[in-house]
Amino acid sequence: MLSLPVLLISMLLFLVLFFGIGFLLNMLLRMSWIMAIVYPIVCIFIIDEVRFIEYFQKPGDSFSSLGHKITSLALADILILLSGLIGAILSGVVIKMLRKRGYQMF
């Protein structure tokens, strides 16, 4: 059980972390929504304990295990992961706004 200050700090850290990573990837790769697309894969690596290759070798067992892990997440874990997704989406929105306003470096 997480205390409220730890939960809020964790949510803020995930939001800022994935906003920053998304912003940098958007600048370097010139694709506004790259982090929003990659983020669910990152979440799967965070949540699941199955090796990546097993999704191809034993897909039935691997996806079943992933579904079980996702449904057994605590509310605090879901909130933290959702704040990271919000950060990734916000980075795409900010990059779009900067490009629309004429900033060439973005």
Q: What is the pLDDT of residues 4-42, one digit of tens each?
A: 999 999 999 999 999 999 999 988 888 878 888 999 999
Q: Is residue 46 part of a domain?
A: yes
Going by C-alpha positions, the residue among 24, 13, 18, 33 that lies closest to residue 85 is 18
How confident is the model at residue 65, as a pLDDT? 92
The DSSP annotation for 6-47 comes to HHHHHHHHHHHHHHHHHHHHHHHH--TTHHHHHHHHHHHHHH
Q: Is residue 1 part of a domain?
A: no
Number of structural domains, the chain? Answer: 1
Q: Is the pLDDT of residue 106 over 60?
A: no
Task: Tell me the two tokens of residue 64.
Answer: 């079943």
CB of 91 closer than 8 Å to CB of 19: yes
Q: Is residue 64 part of a domain?
A: yes
pLDDT: which is higher, 65 or 2: 65
CB of 25 closer than 8 Å to CB of 87: no
Q: Is residue 27 part of a domain?
A: yes
Q: Is residue 51 part of a domain?
A: yes
What is the extent of the structural domain holding 66?
7-100
Task: Tell me the two tokens of residue 27.
Answer: 């600048």
Enter the pTM of the model: 0.85
